[in-house]
Structure 1
């Protein structure tokens, strides 16, 4: 496995550059509203796009790609196109006059994004080059699926225990904090409403956790350990005031439900220092001790490990 997405994307782009060495090649992710440029083959280029650039999806050529048919989209001379009047000015502003977009979809049909080729001058994309780039896109999507199987929880889509251990083993850890949370009242949901409803609750909890971790920084992530136990890793958070603020926010995220069953969360919290040499197993044990104290104190609250509990 690659250590991170950048490493994988760099290899994909290097292979693509062997096919079209004089073109700018880049990888995008797409959601319902935006296109995000994730990785460029070149940073010193006459085309004015940058890594991390976010573009309104309606203002992109990638939005015109047919993902259902999995077909590439090709414009060899945008200046001569009559069907792009709404986009010509935008493309001219970033100095793109030739475009090739190849869809990247996951095994289940979910749209991931695109592998794109751009040039400032009109260019011909021969059939063999396009087919080779399609093969590279398929290899890339296959790896993304493998990574999902290895490091994602199959029910919720959150990271799993294996990813959590890999993260602490492979990366230089900055200071941060782990939240170990357990759902209050979840057993009753399963007993009264059945496991199918319980699975729906876990999926909804996971969506709320994903929303929660997006707010502080891009390095934060959520993990499902199993059952109704979850871990949240929040790097670069160390002050007690900030930890408490985030914990209270998380409790509010998880104790409001429109249905008749009552759910909340108890949280055990353990801070960790940068490169402190503390093993993840020790952190989890300490967080579990703090979680036990939160449960014993009446649930729907949090406790911070202080070295004694």
Structure 2
């Protein structure tokens, strides 16, 4: 996954599954590759994204070529030419004839495996300099790449990075970096196909923080709460967190079904959100609603049921959870 920092220092994450949901992503990726093909016809052009350990091939300009790469392929970063790109200086990596390079036996082995002999790797970085991935050119034979063509490819890569940031900001809460209400309502149907559990979380005592210490202190608390929720979410595959508004949060756990798992994560969240300095008496209450795979229950109905369970958790003394 990728991290973006906004101007306020809030971290925002772009998982690969979210990237594929971005509005018109496939169309834009195709346009990017088509533009690059106009500059360097006869070459394979592809977009890739980096995880912590892998390079993922997102989109190829051509499906059938002499180059042994496929869309969706994940390659260990240490075994890629792209791992050699200087992202700090934002410099492209250019090899016109890999077979004739002196030394660099490891690069030759990597390239031979993919049937690549000429290669250009253009770094794609986000506005804060964070690595995203690459716009690459490959050919199975030696090739010459002129300066003008490389400069044009760099401009295309920069335009693509602007798109990524704009789309990310559209789906993230600017204060906390969690997903926002728009993301939840737009993509919940995709996540709901597997069934799972929705947690509706509300802070106990947050109004007092704003009243006594001011809204700046309240914002700091919300950021810290979001960080703790995100830490819990990261331990469960495909789970994600949403700031619904104010001090209300939604956590979606796709595929979760057992009471034992619900108890585990609900108690984990309650414990993490009850550790504060003595002057800040904060805790959380949670309403829990399971939903069936491919069920017909609308998100609005799930939220209403979760709110009902949350109300019962508050009435039971707060710092607890209730299952609808």
- TM score, norm. by length of structure 1: 0.79
Q: Look up the SS of the partner of 2:179 in the other structure.
A: coil
Task: Summarize the alignment of residues 129-144 of structure 1 with structure 2, pairs less than 5 Å apart.
Answer: 129-144=149-164
Between the aligned partners of 2:293 and 2:87, the Cα distance in structure 1 is 43
Task: Summarize the alignment of residues 1-309 of structure 1 with structure 2, pairs less than 5 Å apart.
Answer: 4-5=21-22, 8-9=25-26, 11-13=28-30, 15-17=32-34, 18-19=37-38, 20=40, 22-30=42-50, 33-41=52-60, 46-47=67-68, 51=72, 53=74, 55-56=76-77, 60-82=80-102, 84=104, 87-168=107-188, 173-218=193-238, 220-257=239-276, 261-305=280-324
Give yes or no for contact 1:49–1:94 (8 Å, CA) kept in 2: no
- TM score, norm. by length of structure 2: 0.76
**Is 112-121 or 292-301 further displaced after alignment?**
112-121
- The size of the alignment, in residue pairs, is 301
Give yes or no for contact 1:47–1:119 (8 Å, CA) kept in 2: no
* Structure 2, unpaired ranges of 5+: 1-18
Give yes or no for contact 2:32–2:160 (8 Å, CA) kept in 1: no
Distance 1:96 1:187, change over 3 A: farther
Displacement, 1:242? 2.7
Displacement, 1:262? 4.6
* Structure 1, unpaired ranges of 5+: none
Give yes or no for contact 2:286–2:321 (8 Å, CA) kept in 1: yes
**Is 237-246 or 63-72 further displaced after alignment?**
63-72
Distance 1:89 1:251, change over 3 A: farther
